[in-house]
Protein backbone atom coordinates (compact mmCIF):
# COMPACT_ATOMS: atom_id res chain seq x y z
CA UNK A 1 0.00 0.00 0.00
CA UNK A 2 2.81 2.41 0.88
CA UNK A 3 4.53 1.72 -2.42
CA UNK A 4 1.32 2.39 -4.35
CA UNK A 5 0.78 5.67 -2.55
CA UNK A 6 4.34 6.82 -3.25
CA UNK A 7 3.95 5.93 -6.92
CA UNK A 8 0.67 7.87 -7.07
CA UNK A 9 2.22 10.92 -5.39
CA UNK A 10 5.17 10.80 -7.76
CA UNK A 11 2.83 10.63 -10.74
CA UNK A 12 0.90 13.70 -9.54
CA UNK A 13 4.12 15.65 -8.96
CA UNK A 14 5.33 14.68 -12.41
CA UNK A 15 2.05 15.97 -13.88
CA UNK A 16 2.38 19.25 -11.97
CA UNK A 17 5.96 19.77 -13.11
CA UNK A 18 5.07 18.95 -16.68
CA UNK A 19 2.20 21.44 -16.62
CA UNK A 20 4.39 24.13 -15.13
CA UNK A 21 7.12 23.49 -17.72
CA UNK A 22 4.63 23.75 -20.57
CA UNK A 23 3.19 26.98 -19.21
CA UNK A 24 5.17 30.22 -19.47
CA UNK A 25 4.45 33.13 -17.16
CA UNK A 26 5.90 35.66 -19.62
CA UNK A 27 3.54 38.17 -21.30
CA UNK A 28 3.75 36.31 -24.61
CA UNK A 29 3.27 32.98 -22.88
CA UNK A 30 0.15 34.23 -21.12
CA UNK A 31 -1.15 35.71 -24.36
CA UNK A 32 -0.76 32.44 -26.26
CA UNK A 33 -2.55 30.44 -23.58
CA UNK A 34 -5.49 32.84 -23.32
CA UNK A 35 -8.83 31.99 -24.85
CA UNK A 36 -10.20 34.25 -27.55
CA UNK A 37 -12.65 35.80 -25.10
CA UNK A 38 -9.85 36.90 -22.72
CA UNK A 39 -7.80 38.16 -25.68
CA UNK A 40 -10.76 40.27 -26.80
CA UNK A 41 -11.02 41.77 -23.31
CA UNK A 42 -7.29 42.59 -23.29
CA UNK A 43 -7.59 44.27 -26.70
CA UNK A 44 -10.52 46.36 -25.46
CA UNK A 45 -8.53 47.41 -22.40
CA UNK A 46 -5.56 48.48 -24.52
CA UNK A 47 -7.88 50.50 -26.75
CA UNK A 48 -9.23 52.22 -23.63
CA UNK A 49 -5.65 52.85 -22.47
CA UNK A 50 -4.65 54.38 -25.83
CA UNK A 51 -7.78 56.54 -25.84
CA UNK A 52 -7.15 57.83 -22.33
CA UNK A 53 -3.48 58.57 -23.08
CA UNK A 54 -4.51 60.53 -26.19
CA UNK A 55 -6.94 62.59 -24.10
CA UNK A 56 -4.31 63.18 -21.42
CA UNK A 57 -1.79 64.51 -23.94
CA UNK A 58 -4.35 66.64 -25.78
CA UNK A 59 -5.79 68.25 -22.65
CA UNK A 60 -2.37 68.79 -21.07
CA UNK A 61 -1.14 70.67 -24.14
CA UNK A 62 -4.37 72.69 -24.33
CA UNK A 63 -4.21 73.67 -20.65
CA UNK A 64 -0.53 74.58 -20.86
CA UNK A 65 -1.18 76.80 -23.90
CA UNK A 66 -4.19 78.44 -22.21
CA UNK A 67 -2.19 79.15 -19.07
CA UNK A 68 0.82 80.50 -20.96
CA UNK A 69 -1.14 82.82 -23.24
CA UNK A 70 -3.37 84.05 -20.41
CA UNK A 71 -0.33 85.18 -18.44
CA UNK A 72 0.71 87.32 -21.40
CA UNK A 73 -2.81 88.46 -22.25
CA UNK A 74 -4.03 89.64 -18.85
CA UNK A 75 -1.55 92.50 -18.24
CA UNK A 76 -1.59 93.58 -21.90
CA UNK A 77 -5.38 93.86 -22.14
CA UNK A 78 -5.58 95.52 -18.73
CA UNK A 79 -3.24 98.26 -19.92
CA UNK A 80 -5.25 98.80 -23.11
CA UNK A 81 -8.56 99.02 -21.23
CA UNK A 82 -7.05 101.41 -18.69
CA UNK A 83 -6.33 103.80 -21.55
CA UNK A 84 -9.81 103.25 -22.99
CA UNK A 85 -8.51 101.52 -26.15
CA UNK A 86 -11.17 98.88 -26.67
CA UNK A 87 -10.15 98.19 -30.27
CA UNK A 88 -6.59 97.53 -29.15
CA UNK A 89 -7.84 95.26 -26.35
CA UNK A 90 -9.86 93.22 -28.88
CA UNK A 91 -6.83 92.98 -31.16
CA UNK A 92 -4.70 91.70 -28.26
CA UNK A 93 -7.37 89.11 -27.43
CA UNK A 94 -7.48 87.88 -31.02
CA UNK A 95 -3.71 87.36 -30.92
CA UNK A 96 -4.11 85.00 -27.97
CA UNK A 97 -6.84 82.71 -29.27
CA UNK A 98 -5.78 79.75 -27.10
CA UNK A 99 -6.23 81.76 -23.92
CA UNK A 100 -9.45 81.01 -22.08
CA UNK A 101 -9.53 84.56 -20.71
CA UNK A 102 -9.07 86.09 -24.16
CA UNK A 103 -12.07 84.20 -25.55
CA UNK A 104 -14.33 85.43 -22.77
CA UNK A 105 -13.06 89.01 -22.79
CA UNK A 106 -13.40 89.25 -26.58
CA UNK A 107 -17.08 88.32 -26.45
CA UNK A 108 -17.81 90.93 -23.78
CA UNK A 109 -15.81 93.69 -25.47
CA UNK A 110 -17.41 93.10 -28.87
CA UNK A 111 -20.89 93.23 -27.37
CA UNK A 112 -20.04 96.42 -25.48
CA UNK A 113 -18.41 98.00 -28.53
CA UNK A 114 -21.59 97.46 -30.55
CA UNK A 115 -23.31 100.06 -28.31
CA UNK A 116 -20.47 102.58 -28.29
CA UNK A 117 -22.05 104.68 -31.04
CA UNK A 118 -24.98 105.69 -28.84
CA UNK A 119 -24.67 108.75 -26.67
CA UNK A 120 -25.74 106.83 -23.60
CA UNK A 121 -25.34 103.18 -22.65
CA UNK A 122 -28.39 101.85 -20.83
CA UNK A 123 -28.57 99.19 -18.17
CA UNK A 124 -30.08 96.77 -20.69
CA UNK A 125 -27.01 97.11 -22.88
CA UNK A 126 -24.77 96.41 -19.90
CA UNK A 127 -26.87 93.32 -19.19
CA UNK A 128 -26.47 92.25 -22.81
CA UNK A 129 -22.69 92.47 -22.42
CA UNK A 130 -22.92 90.51 -19.19
CA UNK A 131 -24.94 87.76 -20.87
CA UNK A 132 -22.38 87.64 -23.68
CA UNK A 133 -19.66 87.07 -21.09
CA UNK A 134 -21.70 84.28 -19.46
CA UNK A 135 -22.30 82.57 -22.81
CA UNK A 136 -18.63 82.80 -23.71
CA UNK A 137 -17.62 81.39 -20.31
CA UNK A 138 -19.96 78.42 -20.78
CA UNK A 139 -18.63 77.74 -24.28
CA UNK A 140 -14.99 77.98 -23.19
CA UNK A 141 -15.69 75.70 -20.21
CA UNK A 142 -17.17 73.09 -22.56
CA UNK A 143 -14.14 73.38 -24.85
CA UNK A 144 -11.70 72.96 -21.97
CA UNK A 145 -13.65 69.99 -20.60
CA UNK A 146 -13.83 68.22 -23.97
CA UNK A 147 -12.59 64.65 -23.61
CA UNK A 148 -12.02 64.80 -19.84
CA UNK A 149 -15.17 62.76 -19.22
CA UNK A 150 -13.49 59.94 -21.17
CA UNK A 151 -10.96 59.60 -18.35
CA UNK A 152 -13.76 59.29 -15.80
CA UNK A 153 -15.48 56.65 -17.92
CA UNK A 154 -12.27 54.66 -18.41
CA UNK A 155 -11.37 54.92 -14.74
CA UNK A 156 -14.79 53.68 -13.68
CA UNK A 157 -15.26 50.87 -16.20
CA UNK A 158 -11.77 49.44 -16.84
CA UNK A 159 -11.67 47.40 -13.57
CA UNK A 160 -15.04 45.85 -14.40
CA UNK A 161 -13.93 45.05 -17.95
CA UNK A 162 -10.84 43.38 -16.46
CA UNK A 163 -13.00 41.49 -13.98
CA UNK A 164 -15.18 40.29 -16.82
CA UNK A 165 -12.06 38.94 -18.52
CA UNK A 166 -11.06 37.24 -15.27
CA UNK A 167 -14.40 35.45 -15.05
CA UNK A 168 -14.06 34.29 -18.65
CA UNK A 169 -10.47 33.17 -17.99
CA UNK A 170 -11.48 31.10 -14.97
CA UNK A 171 -14.26 29.47 -16.96
CA UNK A 172 -11.75 28.73 -19.73
CA UNK A 173 -9.33 27.23 -17.18
CA UNK A 174 -11.92 24.89 -15.69
CA UNK A 175 -13.12 23.82 -19.11
CA UNK A 176 -9.51 22.94 -19.96
CA UNK A 177 -9.10 20.98 -16.73
CA UNK A 178 -12.31 19.11 -17.43
CA UNK A 179 -11.17 18.24 -20.94
CA UNK A 180 -7.67 17.02 -19.96
CA UNK A 181 -8.72 15.37 -16.66
CA UNK A 182 -5.56 16.76 -15.01
CA UNK A 183 -5.36 17.38 -11.27
CA UNK A 184 -3.01 19.21 -8.98
CA UNK A 185 -1.76 22.76 -8.64
CA UNK A 186 -0.03 22.77 -12.02
CA UNK A 187 -3.31 22.05 -13.77
CA UNK A 188 -4.98 25.21 -12.44
CA UNK A 189 -1.99 27.58 -12.00
CA UNK A 190 -1.82 28.54 -15.64
CA UNK A 191 -5.54 29.13 -15.98
CA UNK A 192 -5.76 31.22 -12.81
CA UNK A 193 -2.71 33.30 -13.84
CA UNK A 194 -4.25 33.85 -17.26
CA UNK A 195 -7.53 34.90 -15.69
CA UNK A 196 -5.93 37.39 -13.30
CA UNK A 197 -3.98 39.10 -16.07
CA UNK A 198 -7.07 40.92 -17.33
CA UNK A 199 -7.85 42.23 -13.84
CA UNK A 200 -4.28 43.51 -13.50
CA UNK A 201 -4.47 45.23 -16.90
CA UNK A 202 -7.85 46.73 -15.98
CA UNK A 203 -6.39 48.26 -12.83
CA UNK A 204 -3.34 49.46 -14.76
CA UNK A 205 -5.63 51.30 -17.15
CA UNK A 206 -8.02 52.66 -14.51
CA UNK A 207 -5.67 54.04 -11.85
CA UNK A 208 -3.80 56.61 -14.02
CA UNK A 209 -7.09 57.67 -15.64
CA UNK A 210 -8.64 58.46 -12.26
CA UNK A 211 -5.55 60.33 -11.07
CA UNK A 212 -5.33 62.47 -14.21
CA UNK A 213 -9.10 63.08 -14.24
CA UNK A 214 -8.91 64.51 -10.72
CA UNK A 215 -5.90 66.63 -11.71
CA UNK A 216 -7.71 68.03 -14.77
CA UNK A 217 -10.85 68.67 -12.72
CA UNK A 218 -8.79 70.88 -10.41
CA UNK A 219 -7.41 72.73 -13.44
CA UNK A 220 -10.93 73.28 -14.80
CA UNK A 221 -12.11 74.72 -11.50
CA UNK A 222 -9.18 77.15 -11.52
CA UNK A 223 -9.97 78.19 -15.10
CA UNK A 224 -13.63 78.76 -14.18
CA UNK A 225 -12.65 80.99 -11.27
CA UNK A 226 -10.33 83.01 -13.50
CA UNK A 227 -13.04 83.46 -16.15
CA UNK A 228 -15.61 84.49 -13.54
CA UNK A 229 -13.22 87.04 -12.07
CA UNK A 230 -12.37 88.44 -15.50
CA UNK A 231 -16.06 88.69 -16.40
CA UNK A 232 -16.84 90.49 -13.15
CA UNK A 233 -13.99 92.95 -13.62
CA UNK A 234 -15.05 93.60 -17.21
CA UNK A 235 -18.64 94.30 -16.15
CA UNK A 236 -17.31 96.80 -13.58
CA UNK A 237 -15.31 98.42 -16.36
CA UNK A 238 -18.44 98.67 -18.54
CA UNK A 239 -20.37 100.30 -15.70
CA UNK A 240 -17.62 102.87 -15.20
CA UNK A 241 -17.53 103.61 -18.94
CA UNK A 242 -21.29 104.02 -19.11
CA UNK A 243 -21.18 106.33 -16.06
CA UNK A 244 -18.68 108.57 -17.76
CA UNK A 245 -20.89 108.87 -20.87
CA UNK A 246 -23.77 110.07 -18.75
Query: Comparing C-alpha atoms, which of 124, 98, 131 is closest to residue 223?
Result: 98
> What does the alpha-carbon distance between residue 132 and residue 113 come to, in Å, rounded to a whole number?
12
Total-model pTM: 0.75
pLDDT for 55 equals: 95
How many structural domains comprise the chain?
Answer: 1
pLDDT of residue 243: 61
CA distances in angstroms from 179 to 38, 183, 187, listed in the order given: 19, 11, 11
**pLDDT given at position 3:** 38
Q: Could you say which DSSP state residue 117 is in?
A: T
Nearest one of 138, 140, 81 to 112, comparing CA atoms: 81
Determine, yes or no, domain membership for 6.
no
Closest CA to 69 of 107, 88, 95: 95
Alpha helices for the chain (secondary structure H): 2-22, 27-33, 36-82, 86-95, 100-113, 123-145, 148-180, 185-245
Q: Is residue 119 part of a domain?
A: yes
- Evaluate whether residue 10 is within a structural domain: no
Cβ within 8 Å of residue 199, ≥6 positions away? 159, 162, 163, 165, 166
Domain assignment of residue 233, yes or no: yes
| DSSP symbol at 85 | -
pLDDT at 206: 95
SS3 state of residue 245 = helix
Predicted confidence at residue 196, as pLDDT, reads 81
In contact, 201 and 154? CB cutoff 8 Å = no
Instruction: State residue 151's pLDDT score.
Output: 94
Report the pLDDT value the prediction gives residue 14, as an integer from 0 to 100: 34
- The closest alpha carbon to 12, from 180, 177, 174, 186, belongs to 186
Residue 131 domain boundaries: 37-245
Residue 56 Cα to chain centre, angstroms: 6
Residue 227 belongs to some domain of the structure: yes
pLDDT value at residue 7? 31
Residue 47 lies in a domain: yes
The answer to the question of residue 167 being in a domain is: yes
**pLDDT (tens place) for every residue of the chain, 246 residues total:** 433 333 343 333 334 444 444 445 565 656 666 667 778 888 899 999 999 999 999 999 999 999 999 888 888 888 888 887 888 888 888 888 888 888 888 888 887 777 665 545 556 677 777 888 889 899 999 999 999 999 999 999 999 998 888 887 777 777 766 666 655 555 555 567 667 888 888 999 999 999 999 999 999 999 999 999 988 888 888 777 666 444
Amino acid sequence: MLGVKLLSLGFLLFQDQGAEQNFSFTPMGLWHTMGWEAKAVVIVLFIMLAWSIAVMIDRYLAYQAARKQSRLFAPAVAGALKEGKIDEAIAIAEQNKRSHLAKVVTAGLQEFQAHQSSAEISGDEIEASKRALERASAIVHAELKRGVSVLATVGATAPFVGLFGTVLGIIHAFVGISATHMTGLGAVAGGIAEALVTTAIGLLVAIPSVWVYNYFSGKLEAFDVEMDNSSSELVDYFLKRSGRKR
